[in-house]
Amino acid sequence: QKEVEQNSGPLSVPEGAIASLNCTYSDRGSQSFFWYRQYSGKSPELIMFIYSNGDKEDGRFTAQLNKASQYVSLLIRDSQPSDSATYLCAVSPYGQNFVFGPGTRLSVLP
Amino acid sequence: EAQVTQNPRYLITVTGKKLTVTCSQNMNHEYMSWYRQDPGLGLRQIYYSMNVEVTDKGDVPEGYKVSRKEKRNFPLILESPSPNQTSLYFCASSLRTGNTEAFFGQGTRLTVV
């Protein structure tokens, strides 16, 4: 059983702070890693993807991947109230289906 | 505009009455899938299709059927809905499996009474 785990939250951070979202996965064959954001009642939308160990930055977002520890994280700098949403981690072994984690609910307090 | 379109957005039905949720994508994607989302359980895959006439079970296929007669369409069929199928359903498509972005439809909130 391939599993992806996330803390369900809610994770509360003050506006302007760094939010750190974490995800662990069980399948060592996983090669592609995605972070999706989902507002309440809406469909998930892709924020970032990462394939290689290390950090990948895109604006206020940084994805970090450590395959040896089977760990992927998402950092959100200068958090804004509009970042309040559920963040879904998705993992995929090459050529296989996505497996989604349960999501972490983030609340950014003004 | 590239998109995945699901219909209906909201549906209330009674136990045992067959229903179909449609899904269509205009991006010429090979891979399509259906998920259900329940509180605390995240997105769970129901069925997926890697191409026309190729479908396979996901993690929670019981009580559902799908078909892929055309590349753009991937309907989800509930032959005899039951209350435990009350959920939020998403259709998704991607260029191919795994290492490409999944695009999601708007979601269908289904209530079975």
Cβ neighbours around B105 below 10 Å, total:
26
Chain A hits for B48, Cβ within 8 Å: 97
Residue of A nearest to B87 (CA): A41
Q: Check residue A75 and give its pLDDT.
A: 97
- The answer to which of A89-98, A101-110, B13-22 has the lowest mean pLDDT is A89-98
> From the list A43, A45, A97, which residue is nearest B97 (CB)?
A97
Cβ neighbours around A45 below 10 Å, total:
14
Q: What is the pLDDT of residues B67-112, one digit of tens each?
A: 999 999 999 999 999 999 999 999 999 887 666 788 999 999 999 9
Strands of A1-110, DSSP E:
4-5, 11-14, 19-25, 30-38, 45-50, 54-58, 61-66, 71-76, 85-93, 99-100, 104-109
Phi and psi torsions of B84, nearest 5° = -75, 0
A vs B, Cβ pairs < 8 A, gives 56
Q: What is the pLDDT of residues B15-42, one digit of tens each?
A: 999 999 999 999 999 999 999 999 878 8
Handedness of CA A65, A12, B106, B39 (dihedral sign): positive
Q: Check residue A25 and give its pLDDT.
A: 94
CA of A109, closest CA in chain B: separation in Å? 23
What mean pLDDT is predicted for residues A68-95? 92
Q: Is A101 helix (H, G, I), strand (E, B) or coil?
A: coil
Sheet holding B65-66, edge to edge: B4-7, B19-25, B76-78, B65-66
**Tokens encoding B113:** 């009474």
Taking 90 as the threshold, does the pLDDT of residue A7 lie above it?
no
CA distance B111 to B10: 8
Taking 80 as the threshold, does the pLDDT of residue A97 lie above it?
no
Asked whether the beta carbons of A60 and A47 are under 8 A apart, the reply is: no
Q: What is the pLDDT of residues A17-28, one digit of tens each?
A: 999 999 999 988
CA of B41, closest CA in chain A: separation in Å? 5
On the 0-12 / 13-18 / 19+ scale of CB atoms within 10 A, B66 is buried
Chain A hits for B45, Cβ within 8 Å: 97-98
Spatial CB neighbours of B83, under 8 Å, sequence gap ≥ 6: B15, B112, B113
